[in-house]
Structure 1
Amino acid sequence: MGEAEVITSGLRPILLMHGDSLCTDDVGYQEFRSLVRQPAWQAEFLGQPLAARHAFAAQARAQSREATSSKATEIMDVNHVAVQQVLVKHGVCDLLHGHTHRPKVHEFAFGGLPGKGEQPATRTVLGDWETSAWFAQIHAGEISLIKYNFQ
């Protein structure tokens, strides 16, 4: 899967993406994201022994937990202008993403598609997968979230 993919469920096109690129107010994270997506950085990282990569990942997660504990929640959430821009770019009114791990179906009016006028839109956010699994279901044109507990 690429950075963003449009799928169609029935007649409804939905944009799927990780969601981290939409958190544009979290400047520190965006700098990290830019670094680790560089092919040269990835090649160097993947050239290291597995144990070193695991250690780096553990350290990065610890630093992320520490950083997020002191950041305002608004900074770590998606930027609504970025959401509207990505919807326009892909010509859709529905977005499904993760990253923020605040599960919810956000419904809003969206008037950004040329020639379409204002129409209903959704931004569906999947939760994390630590103690349960989250997935989205589309039935009769409605998107809903379903949580599955691992126990």
Structure 2
Amino acid sequence: MLPTTYFISDLHLSAERPDISDCLFRFLQEQAVQAEALYVLGDLFEAWIGDDDQSAFNLSVADAFKALADTGVAVYFIHGNRDFLVRNTFAKQAGFTLLPEQVVVDLYGTPTLLMHGDELCTRDVAYQKFRRKARGWWWPRLVLALPLSTRRKIAENGRKTSKQNHAKLSMDIMDVTPQDVVKAMETHQVTRLIHGHTHRPAIHALTVNGQAAERIVLGDWYDQGSILKVDPNGIELSNQAFNFSANE
């Protein structure tokens, strides 16, 4: 069997969508367990308000990933815009190795840049301003010092505001800025980039430093199980991996 690495992102897990979490659990038990590594590229949760939110649902997710990690599969996590408050407590519970926002890994001989991808959407100026604050040192500390109930209300209000703002923005503004994609790849000296965030699964061909390159975008899990499989023979991006019937 060929060595295999899987990538997922933008699952947006919540207790209100058991169909998504059920599909994740099946994927971890039936497919990911056969891999050597799994990378979660952010927005695993619809909202993460702190590692002290030890709800039954959050613990069930942690247990599922930890069971996978305990089989010997390396599980890596990059923060997204919905779960940038994940810290070491949850990472340990889930068996995650936390990675920096941008990291280059060797995928069977191809240096590959990994990120969530929200930093590439630079035309959304208001969001980038918030991102700089949210990823700084003082804002997360301030938020995490608030009572859990207060953080829960803030997260709910934030989701509502986000939906309203997205309804007003053009699709181009919410997508990556092509020049910044190339710049990031040139900075890291790679010809392959894998990211999520935009919810537009696709494999894009481009040119970086005069060389043929590719940008692989993972899809969200609202209506599909979007999974990227990489092995020494190539890549496979699947957007219809599961049947999302909660009554199966």
Asked whether the two chains share a fold, i.e. TM above 0.5, the reply is yes
Aligned to 2:212: 120
Q: Which segment drifts farther, 39-48 or 135-144?
A: 135-144
- Shift, 1:130, TM fit: 2.5
Unaligned runs of at least 5 residues, structure 1: 113-117
Residue equivalent to 2:238: 146
Q: d(CA) in 2 for partners of 1:129 and 1:51?
A: 27
Deviation at 1:31, TM superposition (A): 0.8
Map 1:2-151; keep pairs closer than 5 Å: 2-110=100-208, 112=209, 118-140=210-232, 142-147=234-239, 148-149=241-242, 150-151=244-245
TM norm structure 1: 0.89
Q: What TM-score results when the alignment is normalised by the length of structure 2?
A: 0.55
Aligned amino acid, residue 33 of structure 1: R
Structure-2 change in CA distance of 1:131 and 1:52 (3 Å): farther
**Structure 2 counterpart of 1:13, which letter?**
P
C-alpha distance in 1 between matches for 2:167 and 2:234: 34
Amino acid across the alignment from 1:21:
E
Secondary structure of residue in 2 paired with 1:84: helix
**How far is 1:46 from its partner?**
0.4
Q: Is the 8 A contact 2:123 2:177 kept in 1?
A: yes
Runs of 5+ unmatched residues, structure 2: 1-98
Partners of 2:197 and 2:188 in 1: CA distance: 20
Give the aligned residue type for 1:138.
Answer: V
CA displacement at 1:131 relative to structure 2: 3.5
